[in-house]
Amino acid sequence: MAEEEPSFADIAVALTLAHSDMGHRLFKTKMIAERIGLSKMGYELLVPSIERDLALVAKGAELLKQLAECEVEVRAVIERKRRGRWSIMSRIAAL
């Protein structure tokens, strides 16, 4: 039995929770760095990449929240593309 595809809204909620968890981990990393004196190089290797990923996860969650409003249409376009009927859609979109 195949599992049902999660909705965009469900994915957005999961990303929001992941964003919260990542933010907490970033805070803990910064706190540990201050307390134990993580080297500047170690700090610069860890923190900026976590901050960048945190921002990307937040943007992904926001995008999926917006896409949830028109999920049926987006999934229909994806299905048309998958079935090879994309050339028709691209000509219509160009008009």
pLDDT mean values, one per 10 residues, the chain (95 residues): 82 95 92 83 86 95 94 87 69 56
Residue 75: name the closest of 3, 12, 2, 6 by CA: 6
**Cβ neighbours, 10 Å, residue 91:** 9
Residue 12: name the closest of 75, 78, 61 by CA: 61
How far is residue 89's CA from residue 95's CA, in Å, rounded to a whole number? 10
Can you give the pLDDT at residue 85?
Answer: 65
Can you give the pLDDT at residue 56?
Answer: 96
Domain parsing of the chain, residue ranges: 8-69
